[in-house]
Structures are given as C-alpha cells and as structure tokens.
Structure 1
Amino acid sequence: MTAPGGTPARDKLQLRLALRDARTKRKLTQKDVADAMEWSTSKLVRIEGGNVGISVTDLKALLFQYEITDEAEVGRFVELARAAKKAAWWQPYRDYFPPEFITFLGLEASSIRLRQFQQLVVPGLLQAPEYIRVLMQLGSPPPEQQERGFAIRTQRQKLIADGGPEMFFIIDESVLFRQIGDQSVMRAQLLHLKELAARSNISIRILPFSVGVHPGMRESFEIFELSEESSNYALQIEGILRDRLFPEPSSETARYVDIFFRLEKLALPKEETPGIIDERLRHMT
C-alpha cells in the first residue's frame, strides 16, 4: 500500500481495495467479519464499495480483526482514511449534476490508466478552451450553466499534468475535419492536440478513414483502469440523451476493453499523429 496522494477519490479507492485485500488474504467473507465486529454485513459492503467512509476507530478495530497490528502499517491506513475524507474539487457542483456524473468524476480522478475512443469530437481531457466554449453552447443552456460546464472540464484537465495517470486516446479521423467553431478555434484545437501528443504519459492515435467498418462505430466510450488488479475496470458509454456508467467490473466493461484493444490494432502509430495533424492544418483555409 502506498502513501496518500493524488486526489481524495484516489485515496478512497486505494483504501477500500487495501481493506478488501486484507480480508480476502485471510479467507474471510464479509459476513464473517461483520459478525465478528458486530456490524451489519451491509455496513462492510458499503465500506468496501466506497459508498461510505470509515472512522479511525472503526478502521483500527477492523485492522485488528485482520491481524494488522504493526504500528507503521496501521498509521498508513489511518493517513489514507483521513486523506480520503478531504473534499474533492467537484464537491461544490454536486447540486447541479446527477449522481452518475459525480461518480464519473471520481472514477476518472481515481484511475491509474484511462483509455478513450472518441468518434465525434476531441476527447474532453484534450479540448482547447475555445473549443470547449463552443461545445458548451450546444442546446443553448443558460450562461451560468455554460460556465459551470466549462469550469468542470478545465478542472478535469489537470489530470494531464506530469505525474498523472497514463492516458490512451484513439480518435476517429473525422474528428480532425468536423468544424467546431470557426477556423481559428479548429486551428487552436489541432495545435493543442499536437502539443499534448508529445507528452510522455499520453498516447493519441488516429483511426483512419481507410479502416472502413470497425468495432467502435456505434459509440464513443471511456475506460477507467482503477488498480493493477486484473480486470478492475469501470466504463462510461456516451449516448445522445444520456451517458451510461458502469462503475464496477462486469461483462460489459470486459467487452469494451476488448473493443478498445481491437481498435488499437487498427489505429495508426502514435508517432504518426503529429504529421497527420500538420497535414490537416496545411489544408485548412
């Protein structure tokens, strides 16, 4: 278990995974532990699921049950629990967005790797400011709603800072041609995309028109890899009316992970992305 760091959402995820790992290593069921602690089973389920926090008193009692008594190790668990309780940056926006979107923000902030396929627009994490502003006008929402949307998207982009998670993007070639805003907006966006493609923790690959029919044609989607555990993925699928979020591993998440890896085999190498963007810029009037 590593020390606290990153975001409260990431610390919360690390804590619940560490507690679950400690229980399974001792071959205890959730009911075994709940009975021994004189808790309801649902309480432990909620703690391990990240739906509720855990007090330091309860945490120490739980660690004792798992035979974790080393002072330094207990101290690391306690630090993690306290860090997980800090307010995340999106707390002020909870009243303005549905719970699924808040969960999405937490999953994205908690990920150790992000994988996204986008066939309509530049992925949100890679959008330039004026490109975002044009998209926020879709549907003519009130100005204050546009500003909230802009603020959240730019805040999300802080994940791109050095030391953030690994990010793998596959973008349909049509996105480079779809006019969002005027020529100056598109030119700034393409230059921004080229700059980001040079980052060490970001891979941006183009899926060319020449591949024809491919497995990602129906939907854009984002995959969140939450730990080094096998298949520990969450998923968001974009929709016209609403997005669909799958916060836990499932057959659905496994299917989209497979689709993403199939798309990687079709996409052009990331080393070619700057040249493709330059070619598009040369043909812009």
Structure 2
Amino acid sequence: MTGSPTVRRRRLATALRRLREQTGMTADQAAKEIGISKSALSRIENAQVSVLPPVARGLLELYGVEGEEVDALVQVARDARKRGWWQAYDDVLPEWFEVYVGLEAEASEIRVFQPQLVPGLLQTPDYARAIVRAEHPDAPTEEVNRRVELRLRRQESETSPKLWAVLDESVLHRPVGGSGTFKAQLRHLLDAAEQPGTTVQILTFGAGEYGSMGSAFIVLAFPEPADPGIVYLENRAGSLYLEGQQVREYSRVFEHLVANAASARESRDLIQKAIDRL
C-alpha cells in the first residue's frame, strides 16, 4: 500500500489531541462523553493504538468538527488500521522497532549518525547477517535469515527518501564479517555514496571530540506538514522517540557533525582507501 499506517495513526493522534485541547476538555471528560476509558483515549492520543473509525467520528463531532474535515480525518483512521508490509515480519520484529519501520517507510528525508556500523539502509546481506548473528548468537538460521530479509526489505522504500549518513571513521576499520564481507560492504557503501539522493560523510579521527560521540541517532522528516519530524534512539532493550524541541536539538547536532566531517568527495576517497587496504 502507499502510505504508512503508522504515520497515519500518529497524524490522527496529534489532530485529536490538539482538537480536544482547543475545546478545553480534559481527557477524562472527552472519554466519558463518547463512552470509552480515559486510558483508551490516552493510548489513542499517544498513537499507541489505532482508533476505530466510529470512535474517531464521535470524538471529532464532540470537538465541534464538521463536514469534509470529519470525513477526511475518519479516512485517516481507516488508513491507520491497514497493515503495513513490515507486519509480515511480526515473528522477528519487536513492537518498539515496528513503530520505527512504519515511520521510516514514509520518511522523505533520513539523517543518520552512526559511530560503529554501516547503517541498516546501506548494509549488504552478508554484512547484515554478521551483525544479526552477533546480536542474536543463539538464534536459529531461519530466524537470522528472516531478520536479514527484513533489513533488506527496508531498503526498498516506495518514497525514495533522501539519505544523509555521517559515519565515524572507525566504521571503515571494523572488519565485520571478515575481510571479504567487509570489503564488499565498503564497495557497496561507495556505490551508494555516488548515487543521487544519498550523501555519505566520514567523521575522521582527526576531527577529535564531537557532539553525540559514541551515540547513534536518526532524524526522520516527512513530506506532509501534518507529520512533524522525529528522532529515533535505540538501545538493546528498546527505543526512544523524541519530538518537538528535541528534534531541533538533534538536528543542530547533526549539522555540527556535517560541518566537522570530511566533504562528500573526500569521504568517498577515504572509503576507497579503506577498500584498497583490504
């Protein structure tokens, strides 16, 4: 399908929360008026669950929304309940990462800083498999293959987002998967860096210290003004999604990383030199 149900759910949640606040109603009051619990409304407004179209219509009418605007937002509610392609990987896709994949699927721009590894959107199958095996050493081969398949499927975005990756130079020196796999990965990274819409910059050792040192992050931007940007942070136990002022803060950090990193052309030369050393 075109359009991510995760993004639609988030858009509707933002609209419903804003409309309720404009009326001056508390969440408890609004929930009682339409016959749902306060906790259910909270989950709806925080985009944790999809809202049934009749419930969405009831809330909109309660908030004084009329005519075409009601129909448009109810349609968003319907779209938000459709299945995304990634839900076919529920067996290997944790809930906290499912949200990210749904957001990534409709992003128009992805800015990623990675201090240790080639980002997932630029990984080769063998490089990805080596990482998955390191993260899940006891997983059976079938599960490993499913995880790799999911990672590669993410690279086939219908939206063709602009991708800007800043990588610490250490990424070019960590032979993930052995020299053969690593060399093929670096060649793939170099090819990607030469494609329109993809920028790769290397933050060299000579740059010294920098903001967010040792901490990867991703900033997502979306084509619709109704879908504000988001920052994604991940750790082994789960993930964190940041919005508003924190998106602006991480965007400033990314701009500083870009300014301190080697230029795109210089970075391609650095990647080629790393390939030549192998």
Q: Is the 8 A contact 1:111 1:225 kept in 2?
A: yes
Amino acid at match of 2:190: K
Which residue of structure 2 lines up, in the alignment, with residue 126 of structure 1? 122
Q: Is the 8 A contact 2:217 2:232 kept in 1?
A: yes
Q: Is the 8 A contact 2:112 2:217 kept in 1?
A: yes
Q: Cα 1:279–1:111, aligned 2, differ >3 Å: closer, same or farther?
A: same
> How far did 1:232 drift?
5.0
Residue 52 of structure 1 is aligned with which of 49, 53, 62? 49
Asked if 1:100 is matched to 2:93, the reply is no
CA distance in 1, matches of 2:126, 2:132: 10
Asked if 1:275 is matched to 2:269, the reply is yes
Which residue of structure 2 lines up, in the alignment, with residue 216 of structure 1? 212
Q: Cα 1:117–1:142, aligned 2, differ >3 Å: closer, same or farther?
A: same
Q: Cα 1:243–1:229, aligned 2, differ >3 Å: closer, same or farther?
A: farther
Which residue of structure 2 lines up, in the alignment, with residue 9 of structure 1? 6
> How far did 1:158 drift?
1.9
RMSD between superposed Cα atoms in Å: 3.1
Residue 264 of structure 1 is aligned with which of 226, 249, 258? 258
Asked if 1:77 is matched to 2:73, the reply is yes
Residue 277 of structure 2 is aligned with which of 240, 261, 284? 284
> How far did 1:147 drift?
0.7
Residue 233 of structure 2 is aligned with which of 232, 236, 249? 236
CA distance in 2, matches of 1:228, 1:24: 20
> How far did 1:244 drift?
4.3
Q: Is the 8 A contact 2:86 2:98 kept in 1?
A: yes
> How far did 1:55 drift?
1.8
Amino acid at match of 1:272: E
> How far did 1:118 drift?
1.0
Total equivalences in the alignment: 275
> How far did 1:207 drift?
0.6
Which residue of structure 2 lines up, in the alignment, with residue 172 of structure 1? 168
Asked if 1:202 is matched to 2:195, the reply is no
Instruction: Using the TM superposition, name which of 145-154 and 14-23 deviates more.
Output: 14-23
> How far did 1:175 drift?
1.1
> How far did 1:210 drift?
0.7
Q: What TM-score, normalized to structure 2?
A: 0.82
CA distance in 2, matches of 1:22, 1:96: 37
The percent identity for this pair of structures is 30
Q: Cα 1:6–1:247, aligned 2, differ >3 Å: closer, same or farther?
A: same
Instruction: Using the TM superposition, name which of 243-252 and 262-271 deviates more.
Output: 243-252
Which residue of structure 1 lines up, in the alignment, with residue 113 of structure 2? 117
Q: Is the 8 A contact 2:219 2:231 kept in 1?
A: yes
Which residue of structure 2 lines up, in the alignment, with residue 41 of structure 1? 38
Flag structure 1 segments of 5+ consecutive residues without an equivalent: none
Instruction: Using the TM superposition, name which of 164-173 and 93-102 deviates more.
Output: 93-102
Q: Is the 8 A contact 1:222 1:237 kept in 2?
A: no
Amino acid at match of 1:168: W
- CA offset digits 1:111-159 (Å, max 9, x no partner): 4543321111101111012222232332363211211211111122223
Q: Cα 1:164–1:21, aligned 2, differ >3 Å: closer, same or farther?
A: farther
**1:249-260 map, 5 Å:** 249=243, 256-260=250-254
Q: Cα 1:212–1:243, aligned 2, differ >3 Å: closer, same or farther?
A: farther
CA distance in 1, matches of 2:106, 2:152: 17
Q: What TM-score, normalized to structure 1?
A: 0.80
> How far did 1:219 drift?
2.5
